[in-house]
Amino acid sequence: MTFTSMFKAGAALSLAGLLAACGGGGNSASPTGSGATPLPELPAVAWASPAVFVAPGAASKSFAMENCTRRIDINTNTTSQNIPSSSLYTASLVITSSGDISMKAATTETGAISTLWNTVFANMQNTAWSVSGTTQTPSYTINGNSNGRDEYQNFNIYSAQGESSVNLYSYSGQRDSSTNSYTNTYASIQCNLIDPLALQVNVDAARAAKNLGTAAGVDTFDNYDVPGRIEGGKAFWADSGAMPQFRNLRFDLATGELASNPSTTGTYSSLSLSLPTADTQFGSYGESL
């Protein structure tokens, strides 16, 4: 889940993706809903970790939810059982400082609260978070999945003013080779957030450099998503789907500066990854693994 010696173009494209949304120039990073108040530096928060929504020094953050339902389907080699959707009560989404996500609720109005869904950041094959909008009207998304031999989990969380959704899925399988039997259990949980997400980590060029640059041991462009190269301590690549002024991109592995160029021979212009400073300024920012 960490970058060691390869420049991950996919993660870099998360940065490049903000360019088309911003229309160029100015500050183009995530709004937080707290105006221009600087956020703390939390270098320990891993790249793309959901822990960016946990306050500094806190072990976790709990977000109250409502309108929660759960559905369970159980299939065996001989039977199929579909358990109708049922309501959940006193529900909350919990994100830890390690980036783990869990969902807690009671299955009856007076029942005990227990963990009904859980995924560990260290086991996630794919994870991403993003934010877009203005400081007054931000919208956030978190999504990812983990995939083991006999289990699978997927999550998608969205939070914006007046609108939210939490979708959690899990699969677990049990097999007995001696009897050639199996049991597959599928579960899904849908809720709405009462407490909105809010970014708690400062996003800027320094964070990008720490996770995607020389400090992270990057020395090679992996060419997985797009062809590119590293030359003179900088990564260069092109995004054919971006607006013309943002098609040629450059990332400084030492400083984290992201810059664009309308041509391969012109002058590069720096693109800020800092937080917006004006309420009316639109931006978008994302991190992914």
Using alpha carbons only, give the angle 209, 212, 215 rounded to the nearest 5 degrees: 60
Report the percent of the chain where pLDDT is more than 90: 53
Instruction: Kindly report, residue by residue over 95-123, the tens digit of the pLDDT.
Output: 999 999 999 999 999 999 999 999 999 99
Query: What's the confidence (pLDDT) of residue 99?
Result: 96
Mean pLDDT, the chain, whole residue set? 83
Where residue 273 falls among pLDDT bands split at 50, 70, 90? confident
Compute the average pLDDT of residues 180-208.
91
Instruction: Kindly report, residue by residue over 12-71, the tens digit of the pLDDT.
Output: 444 433 333 333 333 333 334 333 445 555 447 999 999 999 998 899 999 999 999 999
Strand ranges for the chain from DSSP E = 6-7, 60-76, 80-96, 101-106, 114-119, 124-133, 138-147, 151-160, 163-176, 181-193, 220-221, 228-231, 234-238, 248-252, 258-261, 269-271, 283-288
Q: Any idea which of 143-152, 166-175, 232-241 has the lowest mean pLDDT?
A: 143-152
Structure tokens at 100: 């783990």
Instruction: Kindly report, residue by residue over 231-248, the tens digit of the pLDDT.
Output: 999 999 998 888 888 889
In this prediction the pTM is 0.81
Compute the average pLDDT of residues 70-91.
89
The answer to whether residue 7 scores a pLDDT higher than 50 is no
